[in-house]
């Protein structure tokens, strides 16, 4: 770990959530006394309200449609544990360790605001779980995104109470066992505490933060790959002329065009274009990728606001003690951001798929061998180059495009028509991650293709390494070191997996010279 993320008295950034998720940073609660006192006051207000026989939803009443069912005061202490237990209906895959850490960070960022009625002891234990990497096993499926992420977050609340399975030191065990090994103790859930943990948007927000970061990496990678595809096709650099951006000045489009122009600067100075106008997947790349870039600030604002909000119900005003019954568990902003992000990412996948189709086809690739095969002479007859890889990239693209149907429009009335309008934000976030996974596979295929095509051009004398602009040269060196030149047919699945990992974790050199963006 290289850093520390402090919770309390400050907002969390998406980058900090990502750093915690990928174990590049550790979590710590702030020493600020004001933030700690706010949490203590909020929890005390719950106890005071109960002492004067006050009514609090989910504390002295049943949950959801059962709000009209009063809970006898002697049974109030049992109610939180019941909430964690009856919501233990999650199915599907478990969230990955990275996703789980992002979820925990998002929930912690909400609880430290002091509006949820959770005790400082619970907040402290959740922080320690994140710091020590005691990870609840959270099934991915079962949330409709309002009332928050009840079912998946029940696995966090249950783990805090010692009742759910966790992953600790690469072993699965009950959380109580992990706590004992780490020198910790489970909490006894107080009134409102299970609701404080569960009735929020942390799962969709944590997954969305991961999707946001992976999306920004993919956008930069597709820009760099467009530059190299244009080089490999001996394309026309004038499509990225700065004056075109002046005429249509969308900021993201301008940024992408500037980056490609910078990558092609050396080539543009030495070569005349072979075509007056390249095909759209090259010429219009700034217009495709640029839409994503223009939406990055919007997505960031929505997600960081959600992460740094009190998003459960009811809220307890830490100053006055007033109980505020609302609907902050509704994940509409996250749902919209993720439905939009996956659409833009799938469009980038489609762009890369079209670029690869140009590179492998002798009708469009300006003199490169069929399927970019590196075999020559009699051996060329039995070698098929990247033929199957292009087919696979088309399949991954089709699946990504199929998943762009917005999840947020599939609201279902649930829970006896109490939750009669829900966000589906968690499904949208999961879909976005799946679209990103497929799109990263397409990017891996295109990376293999441009590496192969550029080496073929260099060996033929049509290009030299000096034609690759200074900003792109480090990336080209990386892919030449990572991807072997393919002369004889060979399985590529292991290589593709390595390339996808490099993309997902942001390991590529994707920097541009100062002033290029």
According to DSSP, residue 31 is labeled: -
Contact 421, 411 (CB under 8 A): yes
Three-state DSSP at 271 gives coil
Q: How far apart (Å, rounded) are the C-alpha atoms in residues 54 and 234?
A: 75
Q: How far apart (Å, rounded) are the C-alpha atoms in residues 427 and 435?
A: 12
Q: How far apart (Å, rounded) are the C-alpha atoms in residues 348 and 435?
A: 11
Count of alpha carbons within 13 Å of 88, Cβ hemisphere only?
15
**Phi, psi (deg, nearest 5) at residue 167:** -105, 120
The secondary structure of 313-358 as a DSSP string is SSEE-TTT--EE---TT--HHHHHHHHHHHHHHHHHHHHHHHHHHH
Query: Look-up: residue for tokens 């799109």?
Result: 439
Contact 117, 42 (CB under 8 A): yes
**Active site residue ranges:** 57
User: Is residue 19 exposed (0-12), middle (13-18) or buried (19+ Cβ within 10 Å)?
Assistant: buried
**Phi, psi (deg, nearest 5) at residue 177:** -70, -40
**Phi, psi (deg, nearest 5) at residue 405:** -55, 125
- Pairing label, strands 25-29, 3-7: parallel
Q: How far apart (Å, rounded) are the C-alpha atoms in residues 477 and 73?
A: 69
User: Is residue 493 exposed (0-12), middle (13-18) or buried (19+ Cβ within 10 Å)?
Assistant: exposed
Please give the distance of CA 394 from its chain centroid, rounded to a whole number: 23
Q: How far apart (Å, rounded) are the C-alpha atoms in residues 48 and 44?
A: 6
How far are the Cα atoms of 96, 346, 347, 348, 354 from residue 438, in angstroms, in the given order? Answer: 17, 9, 12, 11, 15
Count of alpha carbons within 13 Å of 401, Cβ hemisphere only?
14
Q: How far apart (Å, rounded) are the C-alpha atoms in residues 318 and 394?
A: 54
């Amino acid at each position: 770990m290289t850093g520390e993320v402090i919770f309390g008295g400050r907002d969390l950034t998406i980058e900090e959530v990502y750093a915690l998720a990928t174990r590049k940073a550790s979590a710590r609660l702030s020493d600020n006394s004001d933030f700690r006192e706010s949490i203590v006051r909020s929890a005390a207000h719950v106890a005071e309200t109960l002492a004067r026989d006050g009514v609090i939803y989910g504390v002295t009443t049943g949950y959801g449609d059962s709000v009209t069912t009063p809970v006898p005061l002697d049974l109030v202490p049992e109610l939180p544990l019941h909430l964690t237990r009856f919501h233990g209906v999650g199915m599907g895959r478990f969230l990955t360790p990275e996703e789980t850490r992002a979820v925990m960070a998002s929930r912690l960022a909400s609880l430290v605001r002091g509006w949820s009625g959770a005790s400082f002891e619970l907040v402290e234990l959740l922080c320690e779980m994140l710091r020590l990497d005691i990870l609840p096993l959270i099934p991915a499926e079962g949330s409709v995104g309002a009332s928050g992420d009840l079912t998946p977050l029940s696995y966090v609340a249950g783990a805090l109470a010692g009742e759910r399975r966790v992953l600790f030191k690469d072993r699965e065990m009950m959380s109580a066992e992990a706590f004992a090994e780490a020198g910790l103790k489970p909490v006894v859930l107080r009134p409102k505490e299970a609701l404080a943990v569960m009735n929020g948007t942390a799962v969709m927000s944590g997954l969305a933060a991961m999707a946001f970061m992976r999306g920004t990496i993919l956008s930069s990678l597709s820009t760099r790959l467009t530059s190299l595809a244009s080089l490999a096709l001996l394309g026309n650099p004038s499509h990225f002329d700065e004056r075109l951006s002046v005429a249509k000045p969308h900021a993201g489009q301008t940024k992408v065009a500037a980056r490609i122009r910078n990558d092609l600067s050396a080539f543009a100075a030495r070569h005349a274009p072979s075509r007056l106008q390249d095909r759209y997947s090259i010429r219009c790349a700034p217009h495709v990728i640029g839409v994503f870039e223009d939406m990055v600030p919007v997505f960031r604002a929505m997600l960081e606001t959600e992460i740094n909000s009190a998003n459960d119900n009811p809220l307890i005003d830490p100053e006055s003690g007033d109980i505020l019954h609302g609907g902050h568990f509704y994940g509409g902003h996250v749902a919209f951001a993720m439905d939009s992000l996956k659409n833009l990412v799938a469009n980038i996948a489609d762009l890369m798929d079209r670029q690869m189709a140009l590179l492998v086809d002798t009708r469009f690739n300006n003199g490169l061998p069929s399927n970019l095969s590196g075999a020559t002479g009699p051996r060329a007859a039995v070698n098929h180059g990247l033929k199957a890889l292009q087919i696979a990239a088309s399949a991954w693209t089709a699946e990504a495009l199929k998943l762009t149907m917005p999840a947020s429009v599939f609201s279902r009335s649930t829970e006896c028509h109490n939750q009669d309008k829900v966000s589906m934000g968690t499904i949208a976030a999961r879909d976005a991650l799946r679209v990103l996974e497929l799109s990263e596979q397409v990017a891996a295929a295109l990376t293999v293709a441009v590496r192969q095509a550029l080496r073929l051009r260099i060996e033929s004398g049509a290009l030299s390494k000096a034609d690759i602009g200074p900003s792109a040269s480090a990336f080209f060196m990386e892919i030449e070191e990572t991807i072997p030149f393919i002369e004889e047919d060979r399985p590529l699945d292991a290589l593709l997996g390595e390339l996808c990992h490099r993309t997902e974790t942001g390991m590529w050199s994707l920097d541009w010279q100062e002033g290029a963006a």
